[in-house]
Amino acid sequence: MSTSAGADGANGVRGSGADEEDVQTRVTTARPTEVSKLDRVVIRFAGDSGDGMQLTGDRFTSEAAAFGNDLATLPNFPAEIRAPQGTIPGVSSFQVHFADYDILTPGDRPDVLVAMNPAALKANIGDVPKGGMVIVNTDEFTKRNLGKVGYDTDPLSDDSLSAFEVYEVAMSTLTQGALADSGLGKKDAERCKNMFALGLLSWMYHRPTDGTETFLREKFAAKPQIAEANILAFRAGWNYGETTEVFRTTFEVAPAKLPKGTYRQITGNTALAYGIVAAGRLSGLQVLLGTYPITPASDILHELSKHKNFGVITFQAEDEIAGIGAALGASYGGALGVTSTSGPGIALKSETIGLGVMIELPLVVIDVQRGGPSTGLPTKTEQADLLQAMYGRNSESPVPIVAPRSPADCFDAALEATRIALTYRTPVLLLSDGAIANGSEPWLIPDVETLPDLRVRFASEPNALDGSGEFWPYVRDPETLAREWAVPGTPGLQHRVGGLEKADGKGNISYDPDNHDRMVRLRQAKIDGIDVPDVEVDDPSNGEARVLALGWGSTYGPIGAACRRLRRKGIPIAQAHLRHLNPFPANLGEVLRSYDTVVVPEMNLGQLATMLRAKYLVDVHSHTKIAGLPFKAEELEHVFTDIAHRTANKEAVVK
């Protein structure tokens, strides 16, 4: 079994702690009763896309959260509903990293790999460090299955896995034996083998079991025979670990010391949904989500559809354009309009976003980014929609852009996007991504009293500047430049809005060149003037660091973990992360110029770097990755170390 040293690190979001991806060391196994105490573990469940690996990983994660560990997860699954069975393209995996201190990433490499078939082994063994534990379901290692993935010989018998601690378990056979009296057929019984694996790992890491059994009974309440079969398989896995002498060591990871409060495990999509629900309550507005299902954003619709009791209406439209049209229409009617999608959907919604810019109404547009272009990689992560969010509309159509940095942060990001939309009467783009959307971590449930006041004041009386007693829709607040918001049907406030250019103030259709110039500049000035917090820099070196690592979105975790590593090696480095991408924080230019080198890791080809160079004339170092997977802390550690050394050498030459 492999683990890390656990020396106290620095500057995590929830307090200090060791880096989650340190040098791997081997723990020696001994007597059958030995219990090894660890500070962190990374486990990856991998199998065929029909083997239930996502459910297995999610249940293990839930029990780790209930136990009090800090955690982060990385689900990874095919885009096909049923990929070819037993093939590498059909492999589905779920990685969970849990620890007794604050962690930032789902882990670089799994300390434990549970491989349900040869394809899962071949697709994932390259990530397992030497000395790592590999648990395989031997029943699937048939000649036919080995041939499907190009194994000429059985890796369980040809010494190709000699660098690992391998445990061979006939999971399918043992599961079928445990369910022999359940009344299920052989095929249905065999499907429960993922619960056998979950039971075995739960025993090995001293995870609680009651929660999983309760979950299974609730999930299969309509099919009690299936529920009890899964519970029997789960218990069989636990008992196998308890009674066999194959596993000589069990492991304990103590609860993490996190700030006091009530926590729950949460995914990014669920946190976004809860943020929208809270925004509706805090603003006093009814919420309408107009949307069209699209991976990986669909779970926002699924979750919000459960909360009609909080004044949330969900409308599943026939297409992306209808979805955003309904949302903007809801805002016109005095509600909070929200739409959710991914990159391809943003392309379709762009005209209506432009309409929202023209008529100046609040609208929250959630883009859960995925690999592209076109339909691209539907289930893989990417953050390459930034320039589309910034410029992907005709003419001058500025919109604010907000990006959460982690699953739990999605709640606050949703509130912030709503605050801007309501205060400044504008569409707002919220850029999440697949890693955030499907990943999970503990969320400290906030005290409602600490949440922002989002209440709005609708227009209630005529406001014409010429004293005519009319309502002019484009009379602006002198501080925010936001126009007044009048609910249709309010007596005396008749007005028209639409996509044609408006006369300043009155809102009548205008083709006057000077008026168009003025209105374009007013709309831009409104966005430029949005009040956003200054960017905060994490620099424990008290100014010694000459390199700044700057990121946005889901790169927060791996950047932070890499910076911890450098600091433990005595290499000073500063870190900053952007939530607001348009407008940028007012102090960002000053921060960038305070460092000799600014490095920007992105899961695109350098989109934020392009924006920073254009605005601040700072030659940032762009480090990019666009492989459908998040950065690993170890790869950024190497990048940052190299840049820090080159920066130090350049400074020495100048002196």
pLDDT at site 652: 64
Question: Count of CB atoms within 10 A of residue 81's CB?
Answer: 7
Q: If the chain, 655 residues long, is cut into consecutive pieces of 10 residues, what is the mean pLDDT of each piece?
A: 33 39 39 81 96 96 95 94 87 97 96 98 97 97 96 94 97 96 92 97 94 96 95 97 90 94 96 98 98 97 97 98 98 98 98 98 98 96 98 97 98 98 98 98 96 97 94 97 96 94 96 98 98 97 95 98 97 98 98 98 98 97 97 98 93 61
Question: Long-range contacts for 111-115 (Cβ within 8 Å, ≥24 apart)?
Answer: 111/1, 111/2, 111/3, 111/24, 111/41, 111/42, 111/43, 112/1, 112/41, 112/42, 112/43, 112/44, 112/201, 113/44, 113/46, 114/43, 114/44, 114/45, 114/46, 114/47, 114/197, 114/201, 115/46, 115/47
pLDDT of residue 557: 98
Using a 10 angstrom Cβ sphere, with 0-12 exposed, 13-18 middle and 19 or more buried, the burial of residue 408 is buried
What contacts 159, CB < 8 A, 6 or more positions away?
none
CA distance 391 to 353: 11
Token representation of residue 399 = 């919109």
- Which amino acid appears at position 165 of this protein? E
- Secondary structure in 3-state letters for 554-610: HHHHHHHHHHHHHHHCCCCCEEEEECEEECCCCCHHHHHCCCCEEEEEECCCCHHHH
What interhelical angle do 53-67 and 193-204 show, nearest 10?
30
pLDDT score, position 336: 98
* Whole-angstrom distance, CA of residue 271 vs CA of residue 424: 24
pLDDT at position 653 is: 62
554 and 406 in contact (C-beta within 8 Å)?
yes
| Residues 79, 434: Cα–Cα separation, whole Å | 12
d(CA 473, CA 504): 9
**Vertex 3, ends 634 and 197: CA angle to 5°?**
105
- Rounded to whole angstroms, the Cα distance separating 309 from 574 reads 45
Of 375, 376, 407, 372, which Cα lies nearest the Cα of 386? 372
Chain centre distance of CA 324: 23
The rounded distance, in Å, linking the Cα atoms of 198 and 104 is 24
Rounded distance, CA 97 to CA 473, Å?
53
Contact 402, 363 (CB under 8 A): no
Q: Are 167 and 136 in contact (CB under 8 A)?
A: yes
Cα separation, 37 vs 253, in Å, equals: 6
Helix 633-654 vs helix 556-568: crossing angle, to nearest 10: 60
Cβ proximity of 112 and 72 under 8 Å: no
Helix (H, G, I), strand (E, B) or coil at 128: coil
Nearest CA among 288, 300, 357 for reference residue 329: 288
Q: For residue 106, is the peptide bond before it cis, meaning its omega torsion is within 30 degrees of 0?
A: no
Identify the pLDDT of residue 23: 37
The confidence score (pLDDT) of residue 80 equals 84
Contact 111, 132 (CB under 8 A): yes
Report the pLDDT value the prediction gives residue 490, as an integer from 0 to 100. Answer: 96
Give the 3-state DSSP-derived string for 13-57, with helices as H, strands as E and coil as C: CCECCCCCCCCCEECCCCCCCEEEEECEEEEEEEEECCCCHHHHH
| Long-range pairs of 638-642 with CB within 8 A, sequence gap ≥ 24 | 639/562, 639/599, 639/601, 640/547, 640/549, 640/562, 640/563, 640/566, 640/571, 640/573, 640/599, 641/566, 641/569, 641/571
SS3 103: coil
